[in-house]
Amino acid sequence: MPALTHPPHEVFAQHYTTNGYNSHKAAAAAGLHPSAKNHPAVRQRIAELMQAQFAALQLDALAVKEHLARVAFGDIRNLFTPDGDLKPIHELDDDTAACIASIDVEYRSGGQDEEGNKLPPVKVVKVRRHDAMAATKMLAQHFKVIGDDGDGVNALANALADRLHAAKKRILNPEPPTDVEVVEPAPEPEPGAPLPRYTSLLPPAPAAGTTDEDTLW
């Protein structure tokens, strides 16, 4: 696709793909609103410019996913020799080297020995790795294992959290059962008042001269 016929749109796309994908800076350069990124022609132009950049760098989607996998699943043990010493940088394999964000080397004073002789400086090497959890999250979102809409692992975690919260609430704030009727105690009778009559739940006694068989019928 050639350059866009509307110059501000072309300026926006060019700046957006060269300034770290900042729509506000691109909009300021083109004299447009940041929402210009959502214009169909601008979006297509941005995609083409990004594809050209990846081609120049010999990058594609597979290469990006492979690098993320190296960061996410890199084994820190590969940084050391069997004796526990840090491997020289030139001995690291490609997968292990991809996990490293930076290496800082500094020399500290070695102090003195018991006789007061100055000891040689101590070499300290600090190795910082890329964020493995961030890379794992990006891969999980790409493969739809988790997402922002509460699916996958997110849904399972949310469901378990809701059940635990409900159980904790029942323990701390128990509620009376809804199927039990609470009966208030009868008031005490006044002195000298006749006692109330209560209806017996037992069947009436048979009349004189009748048998049990007669009462059944």
Q: Answer yes or no: is pLDDT of 36 > 80.
A: yes
CA distance 39 to 167: 50
Among residues 100, 130, 160, which one ends one of the domains? 130
CA distance 95 to 66: 10
128: nearest Cα among 85, 74, 83: 74
Residue type, 95: D
Q: Is residue 189 in a domain?
A: no
Q: Tell me: do 97 and 142 sit in the same domain.
A: no
- For tokens 């290496």, name the residue: 103
Question: pLDDT, tens digit, for every residue of 98-151?
Answer: 999 999 999 998 888 888 889 999 999 999 999 998 888 888 887 777 765 445
pLDDT band at residue 19, thresholds of 50, 70 and 90? confident
Q: Tell me: do 41 and 87 sit in the same domain.
A: no
Provide the token pair at 172. Answer: 């701390």
Q: Answer yes or no: is pLDDT of 81 > 70.
A: yes
Per the model's pLDDT, the better-predicted residue between 69 and 171 turns out to be: 69
Q: Tell me: do 123 and 93 sit in the same domain.
A: yes
Q: Tell me: do 16 and 71 sit in the same domain.
A: no
How many domains does the structure of the chain reveal? 3
Q: Tell me: do 77 and 91 sit in the same domain.
A: yes
Q: Is residue 36 in a domain?
A: yes
Q: Is residue 98 in a domain?
A: yes
Q: Tell me: do 35 and 77 sit in the same domain.
A: no
Cα separations (Å) of 23 from 8, 26, 33?
Answer: 13, 5, 9
Q: Which long-range contacts (CB under 8 A, 24 or more apart) does 85-94 make?
A: 86/125, 86/127, 94/70
Domain that holds residue 142: 137-171
Q: Tell me: do 75 and 31 sit in the same domain.
A: no
Q: Is residue 204 in a domain?
A: no
